[in-house]
A and B are shown apart, each in its own frame.
Chain A
Amino acid sequence: MARLFIFAIGGTGSRVLKSLTMLLASGIKPNSQREFEIVPIIIDPHKSNEDLKRTERLLGNYYSIASEVGLGNGFFNTKITTLDKLVSSENRISGSFTFNLQQVSNTRFKDYIDFNQLNEPSKALADILFSGKSINKRHEEVDLLDIEMDIGFVGNPNIGSVVLNQFKDSDEFKEFASNFNSEDRVFIISSIFGGTGAAGFPTILKNIRDAMNNKNIDGKGFLQDAKIGAVTALPYFNIEKDNDSPIQKSDFIGKTKAALYYYKDNVTGNNSVNSLYYIADDYSGKPYKNDPGDGGQKNDAHFVELASALAVIDFLETSDKELECVGGKAVKPIYKEFGIRNETADIKLSDFEDYTERKISLRLSQLALFRKFLNEHLSNSVEKEAWSNDKPEINKKFVDDSFYRTNVTEFLVSFGEWLKEMSDNKRGFSPFNLESTLDSLIQDRTVKSGFFSGKVDFAMYDDKLSKKSKGKTYSSSQQKLINLFFETTEDILTTKFGLKN
């Protein structure tokens, strides 16, 4: 199986990765020539970042579920794995999705490069390259060289570019490099206006393209000519105005523009990326809390992250031919932007263009419907309804088991939160009425309830489940749960809600 290595950098990287995980969990699959195994690598110096933690946990649950039930069950139908799972046991590394930055905690940048021991010319050079002021985590103005790096690079991607470059020396990068094959692909997710993402994207990109010069890695040739896609998120949310904070809204724009100019010359301009996805939203909505990272940086999920996750799908749907590289340069670089049908402050499924609507409406709705049942009705059905009692049973014991209780439930709770956050955000995305009756689950979508058809309710749901499970063989209760619900929700949504497959 080919692999898609996803480097998710910074807060935005984590959040887009979360959206992608949701999409993949719902069963959305790229319409690609071959199957891809997803290998996410989260890069964020800010370890206490809530977004990062949430995404890591989500990925963990996904991985557990997918491992338990295997592929081919509709939901969780794409393999997501950690980098360490790719290598033989004796070489196991951290075992998480996160790349651990070394020597950044409570370290000043100055010390990170051992500034004081530099000889005169290099010290002079460092002095000017990293000149200027920044604001530290105590909201004090300090020299850039004195900035502590454990809260990300707080808007100093030039420092980030140095610190993140340790990535190329890391075991993770070595593993990545040595496991990289010609059919594999790379996708880099970052935002352009922050610190980590803006710095990490070029760093990773350049290190891949510069692989020939890296003495520590194997598979240099494949890597240099890797098919690389990337989404760069341009400002898409507001933050609260706080003059003491190193993050300023007006900075977002200024930094974005400066970085775009840099990309223009050094990313896009030199054809480093095969396919670059730009995304931005100038909608002036509800401001995020101004938190440079030290307060946990927990930002609500946003539609743009969903769209960005869709870019990953889109990238995988792009043919190998279009992503050819020679000498570390894309032969035919692709640049993409995202469009929806209707300009609206609160996006519904129907506001997408047809292809996207088709791609995601049914699957997302299926997962929503799955969630709704488990949330609201499962306890009524267990050991009562036929589908529950059929072998393998989905009984109380199963429900109490960690697979269900932890992995599935947690995942779907996250899914619910994800949806809720997106719908609460402005610009918002609210395809579902999560708390409504079953029949009004999907916004703008009325249930086909005619003379011949029955009412859409949990009774009907149970009925459909039992019908679907009848005569089927399942390898396990776990597999049964995932598979059965995927098929049943697909049926209900296509027949009753009129969604197209």
Chain B
Amino acid sequence: MSKIFGYTKKGGKDWFSSDAYSDKEIEAIKDPEGGSEISLPTAIPSPFARIDLVKTAFRNIAKTPDLKAYTKDGNVISSKDDEKLVSDALDLTEMLFNIDSIKERIKIIVWDREAEISKLKSTSDMHRRFAETLELYLEQDKSSYNFDLLKRLYLIEYNHKIIGCTSPATLFFATANDLTHAQIKLTKNDITFDEQYTPLYERDIEFQRYFYLLFKANATLSQRMPDLVDYLTKNLKKLNTTNPQLYDELNKLNVASYISNYSELDTGVTGDVVEVIGVPLRKRKKEDIVGSIKASDFIIQSSKYNGGLMPLALQNSLNKPFRYANDKWDNTIKVPFVDSETVLERRWLPGVRIQYPYLTVSDFLEPYLIRLVYPINKEKFFDGNVNAETGDDSKGYILPLKKQFFDYFTSDDLTSSFPGKPKIEMVQLPAGAVKVTLSIPIAKQGESISFERVYYQSAESQLSKPDEEKNKGVIVEHQFGVTLFPFIKTNNPNIEAYYRVQLVDRDVTGVLKNTDYDLRFYSNTQQDAVEVRAKKIRSSKKPDAVETATSQYYVLHKEFDFIQVRNLIATGASGIIIPQWQPYQSGNEIFSFAVDFGTTNTHIEYKIGSGSPKAFDVTPDDIQIATLFHPTKTTEDFGGTGAIAIRELIEHEFVPQLLGGSSEFKFPHRTVIAESHSLNIETETFSLADFNIPFIYERKPEKDKIQSNLKWAKREKGNEKRVRAFFEKIIMLLRNKVLFNRGNLSQTRLVWFYPSSMKPARKSSLENTWNELFQQYFNPANKPVGITESLAPFYYFKGANKLQGGAYKPVVSVDIGGGTTDIVVFKSNKPLLLTSFKFAANTIFGDGFSEYGAASSNGLISKYFPYYENLLSTNKLYDLSKVLSSIKDKNKTEDLNAFFFSIEGNPKIKDKKLFSYNSLLSNDEDLKILFIYFYTAIIYHIAEVMKNKKVELPKHLIFSGTGSKILSIISPDMKILATLSKKIFEGVYNQTFDSDGLTIETEKEMPKEVTCKGGLMLNTDDLSIDTKEIKATLTCVESKGIDKLTYDKLTDATKGDIANYVSDFNSFFLKLNSQYSFTDYFNVSEKSLEIFKDELNKHLRDYLEEGLEYNKKLDEVAADEKEVEETLFFYPLIGTINNLSSHLSELTPVNN
């Protein structure tokens, strides 16, 4: 048998003519070791060996059935090397197709054949040799590799390493160097340059489409790259079975779409296109990716997002056949829990190298979960669907949501629990951990993506750090409270919004003691936070002092839907609070309010429509505030933390839950306002931020600075602000009442009162304040109506049918307030005569003409303060003891007396009799004479005025006002008082009553309230009277022919005459005693009577001067020619009474 030393199967002898070795012969060469080994022999004697290797690899692999390594009959048709070379080249082609996805890491370097060779030749011999070799092979091997068409090569640099280059034979070829650094997941499930070699038909469909279009649209490629054409042909054949749809599509490709479907691929310089043998390559159009992704099942279903491309919401371990970016979702894709790129548009989708916005857990869930020391007030705030069946139900949680969540959803979406809406759930796990699950609706119908995070309990001593990358959250327990006022949202742009939000920070110990909180308010319709009109700090905590807390107040004039609470210092913890606003219903109920701003007490009455008036209240049905803590489920000491400041500061500085009814707080209430001790009155101030009406006053110890005597305080900026704040809070309460009860704001009516003795400037200041506030808060159709305090009670008594026998004969209405007494004489239901003077309850219970507090020297106080101090402490009423001492510190007699009177009305007092100041005083035989003197002076004065105006004797005396309680101190029997009064009238008139006699009418239980009630019961006709016309002021020197007294006429002589007039009255009073024994009828002690007589006429002239001086300062008087507004009769009496009270108080100690 002959032997041929070669591989053709031709027979021959010696050196015989055969054929050039073709593929057939080359394939027939058997590799003794199988040919599958990866060694990538660089056996090609050309510097362009790699171009050749790849070309050969394509040629080999195109001969295989599956375009993979293949051995047939022991012949290696295509080796593993071939498979890798082809796969790498395809990877490069695909990378460039998707270049926009990796553009920040990729660089294209142009090697221009002519320019570079010429440069190389001119630099050095070594470079020249290299260049000439390249030149030689470029010329000699041009037909195999299309070097004839090669003008430029494009080197691909990735991560600063060359990874590949364009090839005129195969489009691209890859480096033989390590490529693990370039293993990226570009599309689908293929990782570039990995060990899994991927034939074309297993690659991204978009890429395949491009590949076929590229060849179809560019004949040069088909002509010059036959190996690739073979590969594509085989690939298509394969697709016929693996993806018939794509097969079909690829067969019908339209050449025109090559240009339109793809963008120019450039080197980074626009217009500098990347070409292979003159054919410009193209790349995936950005819009195409975006277009393709728009069909993704993961697109978040946002009800409001308008920030550009709608992001995908992605989660790990999702095992559903969803459409992802441009292919099916792959369960193995790792979605990071946090993406450090904050600009969504710059994010890269995980698993595929596509730049497109997406959202992951940390975009919506906070790293910290704020745990509260109380359960959330579920009825008013969204509690995040905490599963309370497990774990601790004495704690609540702030929603650990980032603000970004609300770029996509409204707060209503979250709380609605409708399908297709986001949903949050919190489940408490063992060891205090909490799992929060946020379901995000996505494009796939009925499906959602779950953002889930488990929050772990932080260590006590030091806050644990959350690990967002590992999705581990941290629970931090914060002690703060948030209270909204009012808890209503009208959603009506025509109705102004006026909110006050209180934040109480009681983190005073441990790691959080130096924290500082901030609230931001957001509306569902606006991206930016709602403007905060003002933010005020009223109390400031002192770390490690547990009784302190910081309170902040936010003044808002816009409606909001949710609140972000942020811890500014300690941890950066933050969360969302969503109020569950009740649906607001507009209505047409007409509300009428009457506000009696009294010297001592303020009262408000209201009526709805034509209903009967009742005291202003806040009932469980129209609670105006909303506390974040649950009002009933929260334990007394806030789960053992002692954070009671969260509750207390609401009452101290804000608004109580309830008013009136059985509540501990009600109107009438002391006319006082509270403010921070550190308030700078020169700054812009806001009611319920800087000031509030402290309903706890006289009930609980006050922390704040309390200002009383608002009505008659010196007129200066601070006081005006306080009055305004006082009114404003009232106006807000009224407004909310209307809003909560289907009222019509603009139809609301407001009646307010002023004493007719009030100087016009002071009165108009009040009037302006009322008008402005009412205008601002109600935009009313009717202006507020100001009524003199004296008129109203009559209409109450009349309207309530309390005047027996009618009102044909004169009826005298006496309204004894704290500061003034107003007298109106009605006849035939019409006011006939009116007078007013500052001789009222405070004459006895106040400091007389002392400009400053003089309680320490006041007789009543020195007598009864020790008594109450002892009584309260004996009965362990420590709060009230504290109240007492705090009021005493201010040294104001009227405040202390007001407090003594208030004690029996305190809900904490069981034995009202024991604590009743009224009862004590009525049994005080030493002091009784003062009250009778006081009373007699008023009646005497009335009689004098009436007689002077020639009015017949009255039939009824009606009493109202806080000060009318003095009547019951004198005697519980009104008939005795009526008799006394009759005797006074008869003495003045020198004439006796007819058979109708004189009756006294009063509302003992609610003397204060009748003003307001009357104000709501009178007709507008009743107000048509000009009170100036009927106003009468007794000069006390009428006998000297002076009917009108002006300051310039107030000479020493006149003053002497006035003093004499008073002296005459004193004589009248003593004569009265002889007619109607004070001892017999009123248990006046003999001793007191003696002292009384001794002291009575002392210092009258001095007291008159003091009174004039005092009043002059009060209203910063007045030109000398101006008329003296009130009678001067009482000025000396005021001094007398004050003087007498000290003497009389010393007689007998309190009997108890």
Chain A positions within 8 Å of B, measured between CB atoms, are 112-114, 117-122, 124-133, 143-144, 155-162, 165-166, 168-169, 192-193, 198-203, 206-207, 209-210, 213, 234, 236, 248-251, 253-266, 268-270, 272, 276-282, 284, 304, 307, 310-311, 314, 333-344, 352-356
Contacts and interface: CB of A to CB of B under 8 A. Distances in A.
Given A113-B130, A132-B42, A254-B35, 16 more contacts: A113-B129, A117-B124, A122-B120, A158-B49, A160-B45, A250-B34, A254-B81, A255-B41, A256-B43, A259-B45, A260-B29, A262-B49, A269-B143, A280-B7, A336-B18, A337-B5
B5 A307 contact: yes
A202 B164 CA distance: 26
B910 interface: no
Q: How large is the interface on B (under 10, 10 to 19, 20 to 34, 35 or more residues)?
A: 35 or more
Contacts of B49: 129, 157-158, 161, 262
A353 B15 CA distance: 10
Contacts of A203: 45, 136
A112 B175 contact: no
B137 interface: yes
Interface stretch (B106-114, B588-596, B769-777): B106-114
B1038 interface: no
A114 B139 contact: no
Contact of A339 (B14, B32, B126, B144): B14
Contacts of A158: 42, 44-50
Interface stretch (B19-27, B317-325, B605-613, B1066-1074): B19-27
Interface string B95-117: 00000000000000111100010
A398 B414 CA distance: 118
A338 B5 contact: yes
Nearest to B108: A124
Contacts of B110: 121
Nearest to A169: B129
B123 interface: yes
Interface of B: 1-8, 10-23, 25-27, 29-35, 37, 39-50, 52-53, 56, 59, 79, 81, 109-112, 116, 119-120, 123-124, 126-127, 129-130, 132-133, 135-137, 139-141, 143-144, 153, 155, 157, 162, 164-165, 173, 175-177
Interface SS, A side: helix
Nearest to A340: B3
Task: Tell which of B35, B143, B176 has the most Cβ of chain A within 10 Å.
Answer: B176
14 contacts: A122-B111, A126-B130, A158-B45, A158-B47, A253-B33, A256-B29, A256-B43, A258-B53, A261-B52, A262-B46, A262-B56, A265-B144, A338-B4, A356-B14
A156 B6 contact: no
A125 B15 contact: no
Contacts of A253: 29-33, 35
Contact of B15 (A129, A161, A277): A277
B132 A314 contact: no
A334 B26 CA distance: 18
Task: Tell which of A160, A161, A210, A340 has the most Cβ of chain B within 10 Å.
Answer: A161
A276 B19 CA distance: 9
Nearest to B19: A335
Given A127-B175, A257-B26, A259-B45, A341 B39 contact: no
A133 to B, nearest CB: 8
Contacts of B7: 234, 278, 280
Contact of A250 (B20, B37, B109, B136): B37
A155 B45 CA distance: 10
Contacts of A278: 6-7, 18, 21
A236 B6 CA distance: 10
Contacts of B135: 213
Contacts of B27: 257
B175 A162 contact: no
A227 B23 CA distance: 26
Given A124-B111, A335-B17, A339-B4, A261 B177 contact: no
Interface SS, B side: mixed
Nearest to B12: A339
Given A121-B116, A280-B5, A268 B44 contact: no
B33 A250 contact: yes
Contacts of B116: 119, 121-122, 125
A342 B18 contact: no
Contact of B21 (A114, A128, A157, A268): A268
A250 B31 contact: yes
A262 to B, nearest CB: 5
B16 A202 contact: no
Nearest to B140: A206
A21 to B, nearest CB: 19
A202 B46 contact: yes
A264 B22 contact: yes
A330 B1117 CA distance: 132
A258 B46 contact: no
Contact of A263 (B21, B39, B132): B21
A266 B144 contact: yes
A257 to B, nearest CB: 5
Contact of B56 (A162, A166, A192, A261): A261
Nearest to B8: A337
A165 B129 contact: yes
A125 B132 contact: no
Contact of A251 (B29, B30, B41, B45): B41
B112 A334 contact: no
Task: Tell which of B4, B33, B133, B139 has the most Cβ of chain A within 10 Å.
Answer: B133
B176 A132 contact: yes
A132 B3 CA distance: 39
A495 B1003 CA distance: 171
Contact of B164 (A128, A236, A258): A128
A271 B837 CA distance: 134
Contacts of B119: 119, 122
A26 to B, nearest CB: 18
A207 B15 contact: no
Given A117-B127, A121-B109, A198-B43, A338 B164 contact: no
Contacts of B157: 124
A343 B2 CA distance: 5
Given A118-B127, A124-B109, A165-B133, A254 B41 contact: yes
Contacts of B35: 250, 253-254
Contact of B47 (A161, A280, A311, A314): A161
A155 B49 CA distance: 13
